[in-house]
Amino acid sequence: MAHVPRVTHVGGPTTLVEVDGWRLLTDPTFDPPGARYRFGWGISSVKLAGPAVAAADLPPIDAVLLTHDHHGDNLDAAGRALLAEVPTVLTTVAGARRLGSATGLAPWSEVVLEADGKPPLRVTATPCRHGPPLSRPVVGEVTGFALHATTGVTWITGDTVLYPALREVATRLTIDTTVLHLGAVQFPLTGPLRYTMTGADAVELLSLVRPRAVVPVHYEGWAHFHEGRAAVEKALASAPADVRDLFHWLTPGEPTEV
């Protein structure tokens, strides 16, 4: 059993996180590239890159951690088909109602996963706001997840901007590894408004949270991601070294201990 989390970046927000013998898949997106996905209110985007690992090539999955079900860049058709094969799906309260076969978690609520041969895994839902103030009725509910393993806490931030409730994570949890959703999402229809964190936001958040390691995701593979790796690294260039050195840029499809 690994003494640190092992993370495989599949693409976009999709990762396979392995802790304490548990295999947890985040935001399953396995459709091929090229299609346009509509997110509502006249907003859409094109998928530019396919997954680095096919759904059929995944090992058995113990649970899906679904930050939200209603955007195609976090749950697509192939991802929905996969949900039926997984014993446990954790998501938002609204998402659980829509899916009908998932457990919904409100911010700061918890559930304990149990299975033969594995230590219990406590999961805490963490707050997200997927856009500017007052945008929740439009963009819908999103959640993050903190996994309390024997080797430390792994935090999947989910699609969120930097706002006070997210900063609260630093005061309520001691984070070991952060799977950080970036991308500075923007759409032509809504101009300069952003729907996920920028590199500068990441620097501020990580200066508060102080994890041991950071795995950036949700920054490539879609047309609505406006900050890729180069832009994030530009923001990191002026950050303190103890923040800059946290980042582990994974090779998609390659399991990596972090």
What is the band of 61 on the pLDDT scale with cuts at 50, 70, 90?
Answer: very high
Q: So what's the pLDDT on residue 40?
A: 84
**For a pLDDT cut of 90, what percent of the chain falls above it?**
93
What is the band of 1 on the pLDDT scale with cuts at 50, 70, 90?
Answer: very low
81-117 pLDDT, tens digit per residue, is: 999 999 999 999 999 999 999 999 999 999 999 999 9
Q: So what's the pLDDT on residue 64?
A: 98
Q: So what's the pLDDT on residue 189?
A: 86
Domain at 6-250, CATH homologous superfamily? Ribonuclease Z/Hydroxyacylglutathione hydrolase-like (3.60.15.10)
15-45 pLDDT, tens digit per residue, is: 999 999 999 999 999 999 999 999 988 899 9
Q: So what's the pLDDT on residue 3?
A: 63
159-204 pLDDT, tens digit per residue, is: 999 999 999 999 999 999 999 999 999 999 888 999 999 999 999 9
pTM of the full structure = 0.96
Q: So what's the pLDDT on residue 211?
A: 97
Q: Three-state SS string across the chain, please?
A: CCCCCEEEEEECCEEEEEECCEEEEECCCCCCCCCEEEEECCEEEEECCCCCCCHHHCCCCCEEECCCCCCCCCCCHHHHHHHCCCCEEEECHHHHHHHCCCEECCCCCEEEECCCCCCCEEEEEECCCCCCCCCHHHHCCCCEEEEEECCEEEEECCCCCCCHHHHCHHHHCCCCEEEEECCCCCCHHHCCCCCCCCHHHHHHHHHHHCCCEEEEECCCCECCCCCCHHHHHHHHHCCCHHHHCCECCCCCCCCEEC
Q: In the chain, what are the domain boundaries?
A: 6-250
